[in-house]
Amino acid sequence: MAVTIRLAKTGRKGEKKYRIVVKERRSDRDGRAIETLGWYEKRGQEELKSVNKERYGYWISVGAQPSVTVERLVK
């Protein structure tokens, strides 16, 4: 099973809210996640985010591949 760390969209229409989740690579964007690692929200020019870096590090160590966007958010 190939696992990836990526964003899953949440919230109402027009709002940019996302969860940072661990999912199987072939699953839908908004499908069921293995684990939720944090959240990300963009409001105009400001960005709000929260990431559990301990769990993120664990998933990286067992072979999960982060998306380009998630990798940028964590750094």
In a domain, 32, yes or no: yes
Q: Is residue 73 part of a domain?
A: no
pLDDT value of residue 12:
86
**16 occurs within a structural domain:** yes
SS (H, E, C) the chain: CCEEEEEEEECCCCCEEEEEEEEECCCCCCCCCCEEEEEEEEECCEEEEEECHHHHHHHHHCCCEECHHHHHHHC
Q: Residue 30: what pLDDT? A: 74
For 54-75, what is the mean pLDDT? 95
Structure confidence at residue 13 (pLDDT): 85
Q: Is residue 75 part of a domain?
A: no
Q: What is the pLDDT of residue 11?
A: 85
Q: Report yes or no on 74 lying in a domain.
A: no
For residue 65, the model assigns a pLDDT of 96
Domain, as residue range, for 46: 3-68
Domain count, the chain: 1
- Does residue 20 belong to any structural domain of this protein? yes
pLDDT tens-digit series, residues 6-52: 999 888 888 889 999 999 988 877 788 999 999 999 888 888 999 99
| pLDDT in the model for residue 44 | 80
- Domain at 61, CATH number: 3.30.1320.10
Is residue 27 domain-resident? yes
